[in-house]
Amino acid sequence: MDNIETWKSLDRDIEIPKAYDCAEVLDNVDGLRFIFVCEDDKKVKVIFDTIVYSYRNSIDSAFWETLHYLHTNYEPSFYKNEWLYEVKNSGYLKWLEKESGGLYTSDRVRHFVFYTEEEIIEVLGSSPPKIIVEDIPAETTS
C-alpha cells in the first residue's frame, strides 16, 4: 500500500483563510514566494526559503484526473474547504526521482500543493514553507 498517492492537509499552527487566487509568484536567490489573495480581505504569503527542486502552476481545468481522484477518495469538505496540502507517493515526486537518476527521492523531497479556485500550484521542496497571513490594506483615496 506504500505506492498509493495520499493527500493530507498541510500541518500548520495558524488559521488560514480560503484562497481564491495567486496574485504573485517570485522566484529569486532568496527563495520561492507565492502571495495568495484570500477571503475576508486577507492575503497569505507562502515562502520557501530552503531548496526547491521544481514547481509548476496549472489552471484547475488541466487537473481533471487529480480532481476525480480527490472526489473519489476523499470527502468533498477535504478539498473544498482546504487549499494547502502535502502529497505522498505522487507522480510528480516519481518524475523528479526518475529525472534526477535517483538522486532526489521521496525521503529527501516533499510535494506541496496549493489548490485555489483558479489554479493548482505544486512545489517539490526540501521542507515546508513559512506561512504568513496579513490584512490587505484598504484602498486610500486622496
| 118 vs 7, residue with greater confidence | 7
Spatial strand order of the sheet with 6-9 comes to: 6-9, 84-88, 110-115, 119-125, 52-59
With cut-offs at 50, 70 and 90, classify the pLDDT of residue 114.
Answer: very high
pLDDT in tens, 36-88: 998 888 999 999 999 999 999 998 888 888 888 888 998 887 877 788 999 99
Mean pLDDT across the chain: 89
